[in-house]
Amino acid sequence: MRNVLILLVAITCLLPAAAFAENGSVLPPAPEQIVTLPELSFEPSSLSAENFMAADVIAEQMSGKVSRNSPVLIASMVQLNDLRHSSMLGRLVMQQISSRISQFGYKVLETRLKKKYSIIPKEGEFILSRDVSELMKKEYNAQVVLVGSYVPTPYRVYVSIRLLRIADGVVMAAHEYTLKSRREFAVLLREDKDEQRDLWAMFNKRPNAYATQGKSAKARKGVQLSSPDLIRPQADGDIEMTNFPVLNAPANASELKR
């Protein structure tokens, strides 16, 4: 009886294998793995991806707090150590963040306020003056403004973004993240400077050229001063200076009064 039971079990196990063999396969095919991934139009390690992820964090905090019927103002991102200056990187980061926030259905409006109507920095923080708050509410009908600051270092850039409520300056959303240094940062981190810093170029822009005996003379157009040659040390240790005027000492003390 026991042998009969063992035989029946063996036959039961062999029947499915024989059926699969007739179909040309021994084992059933593995089911296809279903993986749902977001469609990205950029590289996952790109600058846009990092800023988009930061915008996603802000948008998640905005849900239920900020109305989609009122505009969200976007201010320029500035350096933390000097809140009066920005750079191409600051504008690019805020532009990408605002683009991503608009995809969540919020009305995004980039503000170009005059200097007297601006977000004023105080002790490393952003505060909204009363005039600015009234202007934003009346002219833009806005409820919040997105501000940001960054700190560049040789290896990474520390970024801070905050969503402020215009009525009282309360922080509605905030996020801190870092950007890895890239080659293009050398160009993007250049500050906006209106004045040329080259000393000789600034000297050439002077309105008048002054002559001897206290008389001034108009500078001729097209005349440019060349900067002096570099001071080159010689092999014996002496210093050679070229393209410098030679000054003669006065013969006596009376000439000093002239």
Conformational region of residue 237, where left means phi above 0, alpha means psi within -120 to 50, and beta covers everything else: left
Judged against a pLDDT cut of 70, whether residue 188 lies above it is answered with yes
Give the CATH number of domain 47-188: 3.40.50.10610
Look up the pTM and report it.
0.53
Report, as an integer, the average pLDDT of 115-121.
47
Judged against a pLDDT cut of 60, whether residue 39 lies above it is answered with no
Task: Supply the mean pLDDT for the chain.
Answer: 67
Contact between 149 and 77 (Cβ < 8 Å): yes
Sequence ranges of the domains in the chain? 47-188
Closest CA to 52 of 69, 39, 63: 39
Q: What is the pLDDT of residue 177?
A: 93
pLDDT single digits (tens) 83-95: 666 778 888 899 9
Q: What is the pLDDT of residue 36?
A: 46
